Amino acid sequence: MPCTIRVLTSEGLQPADYTAESLNAAARFEPANGVYTVGNTFDTYKALKLTAHLDRMEDSARRAHIPLTLDRSRLRAALRELIMLAGYGDVRYRITVPADQPERFILSVEPFKGVPPEVIANGIRVITAPDSARQNAEAKTTGWMHDREKLESTLPPGIYTSLLLDAAGHVLEGATSNFYAILDGVLYTAGEGVLPGIGQQIALEVAAEVLPVRRQPIHVNDVPRVNEAFITSASRGIVPVVEIDGIKLGDGTPGVLTQQLRERYEVAKQKYLEEL
């Protein structure tokens, strides 16, 4: 089932001049300079923290020096119209704003499948990418969307994603996610030099009820001592990490605290669903 793509202009939704089979494939046609956000819907027309997504898009545009003005009501209505047109039910969506045409919005949707149950049950294996910290990391830019495609396309078999390290070896974030490590009963996650995640907002909210939280990254040399780890994103929620650079974390299965946090996350997210 292909991705459905439209461009929102002053005259409403217009067909795009390209087609693609998925959001990932469609990204190749999107501008090298711009900002974007990605999320998904529940019950077809309910989006998780869409207000926060749009807040971050405006902040990203400001950081990237793009003169963006959002008509939020119009954008929400257009996204709803596109979802209705596509007929997929729940969707994963991307909203992209080109830097040279900030009055136009590229809206793309594909069927939303969620994280496979076996991934949650078994956890994921990841590797680190030395000295790969992003420039202007707090902005969600299309430039990084294209750069990360190159990074992720070279992953070894069985590896789910890369973790970005700064020049000093601190573990900052995933290529498409925020990263967290539990070490000696404390949850660590970078507070600077990373994109503030939408899923991260919920994860930190529920984590504060379970264990101490420190907004600082672990060092890659700390990985052998990490008890549990996970990543988050708006579309995936909490996904357990069981191995980093071939090093098993704990007993190599999703940790008890990670599972507890995921359960709390799934409950908490219900209050953040917004009708389009």
The answer on 133 and 99 residing in a single domain is no
Same structural domain, 84 and 59 = yes
State the average pLDDT over residues 120-136.
96
Distance CA 88, CA 135 (A): 36
In a domain? residue 88: yes
Residues 131 and 192 in one domain: yes
The reply to whether 183 falls in a domain is yes
Average pLDDT, the chain: 96
Chosen domain end from 82, 111, 140: 111
Residues 106 and 123 in one domain: no
Q: Domain boundary residue among 111, 142, 166?
A: 111
Least confident of 21-25, 94-98, 146-150, 243-247: 146-150
Give a yes or no: residue 29 inside a domain: yes
pLDDT digits (tens, 9 = 90+) for 176-203: 999 999 999 999 999 999 999 999 999 9
How high is the pLDDT of residue 1?
Answer: 65
Whether 164 and 244 map to the same domain: the answer is yes
Question: Phi and psi (nearest 5°) for 128?
Answer: -100, 150
* 48, part of any domain: yes
Among the listed residues 235, 236, 270, 271, the one whose alpha carbon sits nearest the alpha carbon of residue 93: 235
CA distance 162 to 171: 10
Range of the domain at 183: 117-271
In a domain, 39, yes or no: yes
* Counted domains in the chain: 2
The length of the chain is 276
Higher pLDDT among residues 94 and 148, named by residue: 94
> Is position 98 within any domain?
yes
Q: Is residue 276 part of a domain?
A: no
Q: How much is the pTM?
A: 0.95
Whether 106 shows a pLDDT value over 90: the answer reads: yes
Domain assignment present for 80? yes
Query: Is pLDDT of 154 > 90?
Result: no
Q: Residues 136, 263: one domain?
A: yes
CATH number for position 81: 3.30.470.10
For residues 133-158, give the mean pLDDT: 90
Both 60 and 123 in one domain: the answer is: no
CA dist., res. 76 & res. 72, Å (int)? 6
Reported as type and span, the H/E element at residue 67 is: none
Q: 145 and 247 in one domain?
A: yes
In this structure, are 221 and 262 located in the same domain? yes
Domain boundary among 67, 96, 111: 111
List of long-range contacts for 242-249, beta carbons under 8 Å, 24+ apart: 242/122, 242/123, 242/124, 242/125, 243/123, 243/124, 243/125, 243/126, 244/125, 244/126, 244/127, 244/128, 244/163, 245/126, 245/127, 245/128, 245/220, 247/223, 249/223
Q: Are residues 151 and 267 in the same domain?
A: yes
Please tell me what DSSP assigns to residue 169. Answer: -
Does 143 share its domain with 97? no
**Does one domain contain both 75 and 121?**
no
Q: How many CB atoms lie within 10 A of CB 21?
A: 11
Q: Which helix (H) or strand (E) holds 5?
A: strand 4-9
SS3 15: strand
CA-closest candidate to residue 113, choices 263, 269, 236: 236
